């Protein structure tokens, strides 16, 4: 009986150790997931024109891709993709180039979206970016060349002559203003669906296997405890019966 109890306790201790290893491995295999994203340039409240380089950071522990969008106003209802979808992480570098000549002047919001492999994402913004490609044109003024004074030779006349000096006419040049039609805003293209890699599939299978092993270990521990309880119960019953038999023999 002692050997059976020792074996049962050994199995229980071993099961506890295995469960501890499994749980510890699960904690180590699942690092903290954290989105990292920021737009450092252009900053909020800045004025831009022409082609603007958008700089910042887009990263994650389980990184899949990032996208850069723009929207009209400080709280846009719709967004337009700038450039392409990027599958490389960026840290304090160039995210995208934005040709502001394709949009009307006004107030815009820039957004970088960082997406991880399971499809979850987080957005980071730079608001109140003003596009000002159209600037007022100054009207040039023509320089006036002074006219030398005309010296009149006085001759004795019965009446005082009146000298009339012709002044050159001053012409104001006109500047032709050509109205430019704003280009159409490109439509947003849907992002591609995430693809599952072989390593990710193996991670999912291993996670499921850990759960199954944990369940079987718990069931085995319960079965061992039940077996030990049954052995102890039978031993107690046998002890009580033997005690009653001895008492009966003494009475006889």
Determine the 3-state secondary structure of 223 from DSSP: helix
Q: Is the distance from CB of 37 to CB of 63 less than 8 angstroms?
A: no
Task: Report the distance separating Cα 85 and Cα 65, nearest Å.
Answer: 7
210, 129: one domain: no
- For residues 29-50, give the mean pLDDT: 84
**The model's pTM:** 0.45
Domain annotation covers residue 174 = no
Token pair listed for 209: 């296997």
207, 118: one domain: no
Task: Report the distance separating Cα 190 and Cα 171, nearest Å.
Answer: 58
Q: How far is CA 128 from CA 98, 157, 174, in A?
A: 15, 80, 36
Task: Report the distance separating Cα 87 and Cα 125, nearest Å.
Answer: 19
16, 97: one domain: no
Per residue in 128-158, pLDDT (tens digit) is 999 999 965 455 555 555 555 555 455 555 5
| Residue 179 pLDDT exceeds 60 | no
Task: Give the per-residue pLDDT at 10.
Answer: 66
19, 64: one domain: no
21, 105: one domain: no
Find, among 133, 128, 131, the residue nearest to 73 by Cα.
128
| Residue 29 pLDDT exceeds 60 | no
Q: How many helices (H) and strands (E) does the chain have?
A: 2, 8
- For 214, the domain range is 2-29+203-251
Domain annotation covers residue 48 = yes
Task: Give the per-residue pLDDT at 167.
Answer: 55
CATH code where residue 129 lies: 2.60.40.10
């Amino acid at each position: 009986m002692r050997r059976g109890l020792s074996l049962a306790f050994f199995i229980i201790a071993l099961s506890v150790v295995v469960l501890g290893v499994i749980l510890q491995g699960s904690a180590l295999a699942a690092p903290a997931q954290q989105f990292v994203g920021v737009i450092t340039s252009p900053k909020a409240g800045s004025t831009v024109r022409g082609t603007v380089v958008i700089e910042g950071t887009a990263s994650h522990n389980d990184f899949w891709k990032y996208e850069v969008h723009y929207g009209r106003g400080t709280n846009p209802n719709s967004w337009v993709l700038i450039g392409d979808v990027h599958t490389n992480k960026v840290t304090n570098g160039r995210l995208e180039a934005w040709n502001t000549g394709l949009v009307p002047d006004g107030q815009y919001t820039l957004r970088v979206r960082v997406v991880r492999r399971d499809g979850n994402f987080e957005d980071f913004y730079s608001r109140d970016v003003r596009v000002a490609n159209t600037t007022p044109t100054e009207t040039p003024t023509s320089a006036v060349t002074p006219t030398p004074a005309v010296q009149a030779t006085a001759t004795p006349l019965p009446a005082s002559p009146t000298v009339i000096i012709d002044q050159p006419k001053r012409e104001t040049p006109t500047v032709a203003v050509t109205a430019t039609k704003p280009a159409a805003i490109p439509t947003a293209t849907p992002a591609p669906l995430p693809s599952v890699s072989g390593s990710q599939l193996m991670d999912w299978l291993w996670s499921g296997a850990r759960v199954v092993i944990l369940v079987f270990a718990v069931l085995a521990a319960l079965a061992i405890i039940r077996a030990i309880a049954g052995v102890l119960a039978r031993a107690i019953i046998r002890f009580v019966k033997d005690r009653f038999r001895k008492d009966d023999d003494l009475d006889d």
